[in-house]
Amino acid sequence: MPALNHKPEEMTEGYPEGTYSFKITSIDFPWEFNSGNIGMRLVFDVWNKKGVGFTAYENIVTSLASVNWKLKQFCDSVGLDFDDPNLASEHFQSKEGRAKFERKPDSKWLKVDSYLPIDAPGELDEAVVPVNDPGSVAGAIDAEDVPF
């Protein structure tokens, strides 16, 4: 994974929207959100094939059936079975996946728009898999392509 020494003081317009790989580095569960709902508060290391890397934060509500679609999409992205009756927050630790990140109008910050299934075809146009993955394309990144 690229180093995260990206010199944020040089970033004036935020990171580019697109497909990024992510690795879950921290999970707080149960977490009570301002709305009073319970869920997981996640921290990701995020990167793309151009070597752009940053930290992202994501909240997934687990206490409302109406938003289970997001948890299911997230499970599919990291290779976990949403229907597993023994699924626990610690099963997500250090898992990796891919997501499409978008920016709200007038915002510098990216947020997850959708999580991509682990077997989604043709979605590696911007994201890369980790270097330790046997099928990795990350080794093909030239050092001069990394902006830091």
Of 133 and 69, the structure prediction assigns the larger pLDDT to 69
DSSP type of residue 140: G
- In this prediction, residue 58 has a pLDDT band, given cuts at 50, 70 and 90, of very high
Alpha helices by DSSP H, listed for the chain, are: 68-78
The answer to whether the CB of 117 falls within 8 A of the CB of 76 is yes
66 pLDDT exceeds 60? yes
- In this prediction, residue 15 has a pLDDT band, given cuts at 50, 70 and 90, of confident
Tens-digit pLDDT profile for residues 112-133? 999 999 887 644 444 444 444 4
